[in-house]
Structure 1
Amino acid sequence: MDFRLTREQRMVQQTVREFVKEELIPLENEILNSERIGRKGIESEYIKTLQKKARDIGFWGISTPEEYGGANFGPLMTAIVRMELGRTFIPFTFGGDADNILFHCNDEQKERFLIPVINGEKQSCFALTEPQAGSDVASIRMTAKKSNCGWILNGEKIFITNGNTADFAIVFAVTDKESGPYKGITCFLVERERGWRSEPIYTMGERTPASLIFENVEVPDENVLGPIGEGLRLAMQWIIQGRWIIAARAIGAAERLLEMAIGYAKLRTTFGKPLADRQSIQWMLADSEVEIEAARWLTLHAAWRAEQGLDVRHEASIAKLYASNMAHRVVDRVLQIHGGMGYSKELPIERWYREIRLWRIFEGPDEIQRHIIARNLIKGHVKIPKDI
């Protein structure tokens, strides 16, 4: 086994790390100052400017196939990139990418939806969760009734990222209740101008997801994504990828936070000694390092399996469960080490604290990940002992 990154992987890692250091981290104090006086932290137009700058050094469409002008890094390289981007709370992603399930579009849909998203001309949102149906997709209530015009959608989606600004939604609705969720849910591409509306949901973090309301929204047959009744299969492709990506981001954030804790512990003196000399502080640092390293290899293993085309559901759940909880423990320790300054808005720690708490909820909360892992063990989908 060779755990070393390839020359290309190291080059990408260092380039992204330098970009984060030079272009993103310097924005943090400015954003914190703006947010303290109630102003929006960073405008979307400025994010686009940074994306163009990144494109000049070759970072565009990192997960997009070459035929669409992307770099097609693959899952393993994507995980490495996400770790580096996780080192800042600036909400930045490289441009030129699209939701993975949009690549299932037919040729006509690619021209209307996929290509404009890749080019940055349109924004999509993934709309699965409902007020009574989160991880329990069998409880989805949004309906799509067949009509002369195609389909009529009625229902509500909730906690939808980018729902307030999206040009179109990737919507999942029940088309055949009798067939159950695995054959009765269909995916639709629904432009905002067809009549659905969004309402912001204010949270304890910086994100403002949306409720999407559909009242007799007409959708033509040509807006059905994939086969009718196969929507859940597409939804799970999106969700499973999101799990190991969240894990990668958690690793980057935890590394940056640990660096802050080490620096502060060396600088802060109490009773004539720096905090770094206190065993209680040393153990916090040591525990954090061990957990970050464990999360790194769980995440890279999941990404490696995805790159090999192997079933990654079990490994993605393990990585997401462990890494999101790891980051939660690390940020709590780092805040504790900083004391009152960590709790204040002078430093980004409390902001990260609120943001990281979300990672244990979306794309399947801790309880669902444990359910998936335990189910795989009990039903024998995963054998103990394992073949490595």
Structure 2
Amino acid sequence: MNAFGAWEMPEEYRLLRDNVRRFMAEDVRTAEDQVEHDAYKLPPHLLNPLQDKARAMGLWALGTPEQYGGAGLNALGYAVVAEEAARCRMGSYVWAAGAFGMDPPEIIWAGTAEQINEYGIPSVKGDRKGYFAISEPSGGSDPARAIQARAIRDGDDYILNGTKTWITAAGISDWGIVFARTGKPGDRGGISAFIVDSDNPGVSFREIDVIRSYSPWEVFFTDCRIPSSKRIGEEGEGFKILSRFLGINRIPYTANCIGTAQYALELAIDWAKSRTVFGSTLAEKQAIQWMIADSEMELQAARMLVYQAAWALDMGKPFQVESSIAKVTGTETAGRVVDRCIQIFGGMGVTHELPLERWHRELRIKRIGEGPSEVHRMVVARHLLGTKA
């Protein structure tokens, strides 16, 4: 169901949406059916043909500028694809089961030509893989104050010590962008960004078991020597550079959650139409009708908030508050909808025969990732009240 009211999705995005939806149904889910229920990656013989087709469709490295080999989608296009890329079992975290490749951390495009050529472009091609490390055991929602990892200048190098945690893909990447303090504590101007090779002496990783199958990592830096040529921007400019990218990822991140919930709702609707209890189908029970109606209404509202944030970003308007509103609404709505879908399926809803229980676990994490709901509510409140605390 796609009602847009006064705002109509441009034709190019409708075509994009339909092409991705068809690709998911005909290719991705067919390949995914050949791996176990909680898998988070496809073997090469299944993944490579999908990636070849995605490249041919112009859907490779979705958020990477075209000049570097990516699809170059704007925010609205990215949101549309991110929602459709959720329409598979592992799509909540591994979009389209990995068919669209991976964008390197966006901040690499703020680097030098040498850094882009050595790390950014090979990552777009799929020859390398990078991670992005801000959060630490001391916290992640307030990096200006929470970052304690320290990089001390030593001639032409820096000596990095510290720990990063909850870092996606760190242990399976060959490089990362790490934020560390080069100035005084609590000072936004005292944070710098560094490229760190995973095989650099002094770097180690620990996988963190969580409720989803795709685990984050802890990264340890012990007297890790980094050449100054690996610093992105000037010393102390890390947070300033980072701020250019903050909030952008929340838009496709949230759209993807909505896509997961929408797909779950479609499965539940089909089940409600076919399942007979007490002499009639579930679809004829008012309690089920209301669950389905509430879910569709909430998803449509959440989707429009994502589109509003994407539109603001594409138009060069302030979008941080809009992205916070969309993120809270979208992730919380998605969790509620999938919970209702499990209820509609009853006992089947919590089995491994369906992806619902997996999505339930994964969507719970989405209310924490990319900033917890409470922080985004604080952003909205401060904007309305004009306060800083």
Aligned counterpart, 1:192: 198
Contact 1:265 1:274 in 2 (8 A): yes
Contact 1:105 1:114 in 2 (8 A): no
Letter in 1 for 2:230: N
Deviation at 1:71, TM superposition (A): 2.9
Deviation at 1:48, TM superposition (A): 4.3
Contact 2:40 2:214 in 1 (8 A): no
For 2:268 and 2:243, how far apart are their aligned partners in 1?
A: 37
Aligned counterpart, 1:314: 321
For 2:276 and 2:191, how far apart are their aligned partners in 1?
A: 60
1:241 aligns with 2:248: yes
What secondary structure, in the 3-state scheme, does the structure 1 residue paired with 2:249 have?
helix
Contact 1:32 1:41 in 2 (8 A): no
TM-score (norm 2): 0.92
Paired residue for 2:10, among 6, 9, 13? 6
Matches within 5 A, 1:158-169: 158-169=165-176
- Cα deviation per residue 1:142-177 (whole Å; 9 max; x = unaligned)? 000010241000011111101111111110000001
Matches within 5 A, 1:177-256: 177=184, 180-195=186-201, 196-256=203-263
Contact 2:31 2:46 in 1 (8 A): no
How many percent of aligned residue pairs carry the same amino acid?
Answer: 38
1:103 aligns with 2:109: yes
C-alpha change, 1:203 and 1:337, in structure 2 (3 Å) is same
Aligned counterpart, 1:293: 300
Aligned counterpart, 1:384: none
Letter in 1 for 2:30: P
Contact 2:75 2:251 in 1 (8 A): no
Aligned counterpart, 2:88: 88
Matches within 5 A, 1:65-84: 65-84=65-84
Deviation at 1:209, TM superposition (A): 0.9
Letter in 2 for 1:128: I
Letter in 1 for 2:88: T
Aligned counterpart, 2:385: 378
1:120 aligns with 2:126: yes
For 2:61 and 2:358, how far apart are their aligned partners in 1?
A: 29
Give the aligned CA root-mean-square deviation in angstroms.
1.9
What secondary structure, in the 3-state scheme, does the structure 2 residue paired with 1:193 have?
coil
Contact 2:69 2:121 in 1 (8 A): no
C-alpha change, 1:280 and 1:32, in structure 2 (3 Å) is farther
For 1:101 and 1:127, how far apart are their aligned partners in 2?
A: 11
Letter in 1 for 2:25: K
What secondary structure, in the 3-state scheme, does the structure 2 residue paired with 1:311 have?
coil
Aligned counterpart, 1:50: 50
Contact 2:205 2:218 in 1 (8 A): yes
Where does structure 1 lack aligned partners over 5 or more consecutive residues?
A: 382-388
For 1:142 and 1:200, how far apart are their aligned partners in 2?
A: 19
Aligned counterpart, 2:148: 141
For 2:45 and 2:147, how far apart are their aligned partners in 1?
A: 35
For 1:48 and 1:197, how far apart are their aligned partners in 2?
A: 30
Aligned counterpart, 1:15: 19
The aligned length equals: 376
For 2:49 and 2:148, how far apart are their aligned partners in 1?
A: 40
C-alpha change, 1:71 and 1:344, in structure 2 (3 Å) is closer
Aligned counterpart, 1:259: 266
Aligned counterpart, 2:340: 333
Contact 2:40 2:213 in 1 (8 A): no
Letter in 1 for 2:276: T
For 1:363 and 1:61, how far apart are their aligned partners in 2?
A: 20
